[in-house]
Amino acid sequence: MTSTTVELTKENFDQTVTDNEFVLIDFWAEWCGPCKSFAPVYEKAAEGNPDMVFGKVDTEAQPELAQAFGIQSIPTLMIVRDQVAVFAQPGALPEAALEDVIGQARQLDMDEVRKSVAEEQAKTQAQEQ
């Protein structure tokens, strides 16, 4: 792992997400072939987007984090913006697709996203009552 990506653990995860506007998270494992092929693509994107934090969660070393996010298959890419998960998708993305997803995440209107999340939470609470 090079200096452009950060190893995320249960000890530093919350702080990293809280302290940074944009955090991309690659859930991976050493034994995973697609994870290994995605690693250089992810690394290149990290170098090209120095204003974002690119984190990696080793699902073998950090099973609690993988479980907390319901990771079913790896690699899974997640993007957290302003402490809201705005993207999560399993599978190794090609370079162009990763850049496209990053661009879309940058263009999101976070006020609209938060409003939508609040509406969904209100619906869920109403259904539970």
Q: Give catalytic status of residue 32 as yes or no.
A: yes
**Distance between CA atoms of residues 44 and 18, nearest Å:** 24
Q: Which of 84, 89, 85, 106 shows the shortest CA–CA distance to 27? A: 89
Active-site hit among 8, 24, 32, 45: 32
In contact, 46 and 112? CB cutoff 8 Å: no
Active-site hit among 8, 24, 25, 35: 35
**Distance between CA atoms of residues 98 and 16, nearest Å:** 21
Across the beta sheet with 53-58, the strand order is 5-7, 53-58, 22-28, 76-81, 84-90
Q: Give catalytic status of residue 35 as yes or no.
A: yes
For residue 100, give the DSSP letter: H
Q: Which of 68, 31, 46, 64 shows the shortest CA–CA distance to 1? A: 46
Which residues are marked as active site? 32, 35
